[in-house]
Amino acid sequence: MKESSPASHQQQRKDSVDAPRSRLARLTVNHAAIVENWRFFKQRAPSAAVSAVVKADSYGLGSVGASRALAQAGARVFFTATFGEALLVRKALGEGPQIFVLNGPSEEDAEQYAAPKLTPILNSLAQIKLWNARGPAGLHIDTGMNRLGIGPEELAQAAVALKGAALALVMSHLACASDVKSEMNAVQLRRFVDAATLFPKALRSLASTGGVLIGPDYHFDLVRPGIGLYGSGGLDADNPPLAAAATVEAPIVQVRDVEQGETFGYGATFTAPQKMRSATVAIGYADGYLRSLSGRGYGFLGGARPPILGRVSMDLIIIDVTGCAEAQPGAMVEFLGPNVRLDDLAALAGTAPYEILTTFAGTVRKTGARA
Ligand SMILES: *Cc1c(COP(=O)(O)O)cnc(C)c1O
């Protein structure tokens, strides 16, 4: 790898002004990987339509690019959380694909669904009333999550209120989908099947990423993978790893030879057990590299997995590059991607892959798709 100073990195970006671009860490989205993962779900749920959940800007990876790539590959149904997100996706996709808004209509936006042909998910009796059958909608039935949806005691009332309305979909959401063995899954499945009999004409949808992997009983007419499209899941023996949709890299700014007994970083939490070579890298918690990865995370460089030494600081981390010839100033170190798996990183950070992606996305610079 050619040597380059941090200054020259800044130089290359002198035309860019927004905050993420002023940083040296960068996030690259691989749209081909997102499509590959979507096809994996098609394979796993051959009897169902496979939608794409693109809420929160496609989990931080950019809903415009992801939606376009998925639509091009044949995705016809998309889910966003908010009305505003759905507008963005409609603009990106043009007419055709169906776009559901999971949060459902509000007083402010209910009138505005028609023109861009967006479809709300109705989550309460109040939303059913507000929507007032002004167009096709989906219905969310709560089967145990107690977050959104019509509860069991309101079902009969909802069925009456929706009589004659165009119901495109009845759906529910699993609380424990990522745990195949959880008894909660079967409980929710049973409740969903029972409740859905009240709406016999509507398509049925229950499974998010985890639900698809639980098995065909959970697939119904439409499945709703989100995080799986972006590379989480499938790390057990039965499932191949999904493709990494995001790569986060940052350049080395300095390499040091350190004597035995020296300590590294804030709090001096790591002491060199012997002579070591360390590299200081331009990524920190200000870039979304979580501080909880202090002493736990690792990078990938030249086929090695250099561990983090001591604490993650705001703009910098220190890694152990002893014996790694590739460790030179300017060399890019991977911190998430094909070699540093999303689920692995989440486990090390003590959080969920969802939070890893969305935390990076707000801070590190996004670069164009790598096909
Ligand atoms: C976020 C969400 C999904 C997607 O879940 P993943 O675990 O990311 O696959 C599906 N359905 C609903 C209602 C959701 O809120």
200 and 340 both lie in a single domain: no
Give me ligand 1 centre to Cα 358, in Å. 14
Per annotation, catalytic residue among 2, 59, 91, 266: 266
Active site residue 181: no
Q: What is the β-pairing status of strands 276-281 and 365-367? A: unpaired
Q: What is the pLDDT of residues 223-259, one digit of tens each?
A: 999 999 999 986 566 666 799 999 999 999 999 999 9
DSSP code, position 241: P
Residue 153 lies in a domain: yes
Give me ligand 1 centre to Cα 143, in Å. 15
Ligand 1 interacting residues, C-beta cut-off 6 A: 53, 55, 102, 173, 208-210, 224-228
Of 175, 195, 230, the domain-final residue: 230
Q: What is the β-pairing status of strands 137-140 and 118-122? A: parallel
Residue 349 lies in a domain: yes
Q: Is residue 16 pLDDT above 80, yes or no?
A: no
Cβ atoms of residues 161 and 128 within 8 Å: yes
Q: How far apart are CA 5 and CA 99, in angstroms?
A: 46
Q: Tell me if residue 115 falls in helix, strand or coil.
A: coil
Q: Which atom of ligand 1 is nearest to the CA of 140?
A: 13
- As given in the structure block, the two tokens for residue 275 are 């002579």
CATH number of the domain where residue 70 is located? 3.20.20.10
Number of domains in the chain: 2
Q: Is residue 99 pLDDT above 50, yes or no?
A: yes
The amino acid present at 183, given as its one-letter code, is E
Residues 6+ apart with CB under 8 A from 258: 264, 272, 275, 276, 277, 278
Selection from 25, 41, 45 nearest residue 226 by Cα: 41
Output the pLDDT for position 236. 63
Output the pLDDT for position 369. 53
Active site residue 218: no
72 and 186 both lie in a single domain: yes
Split at pLDDT 50, 70, 90, the class of 142 is very high
Q: Is residue 173 pLDDT above 70, yes or no?
A: yes
Residue 100 domain boundaries: 31-230
Mutation to probe ligand 1, out of 80, 123, 224, 357 (largest number of atoms < 8 A from CB): 224
Q: What is the pLDDT of residues 297-330, one digit of tens each?
A: 999 999 999 999 999 999 999 999 999 999 999 9
Residue whose CA is at the smallest distance from ligand 1 atom 3: 208
Instruction: Mark out the alpha helices in 18-108 (DSSP H runs).
Output: 31-44, 55-59, 63-73, 83-93
Alpha carbon 291 to chain centroid, angstroms: 20
Of 196, 230, 264, the domain-final residue: 230
Binding residue positions for substrate: 147, 314
Residue 208 lies in a domain: yes
Beta strands in the chain (DSSP E): 26-29, 49-50, 52-53, 77-80, 98-101, 118-122, 137-140, 167-171, 203-205, 222-223, 246-258, 263-264, 270-271, 276-281, 317-320, 332-336, 365-367
Q: What is the pLDDT of residues 74-95, one digit of tens each?
A: 999 999 999 999 999 999 999 9
250 and 190 both lie in a single domain: no
Residue 17 lies in a domain: no
CATH number of the domain where residue 302 is located? 2.40.37.10
Give me ligand 1 centre to Cα 364, in Å. 24
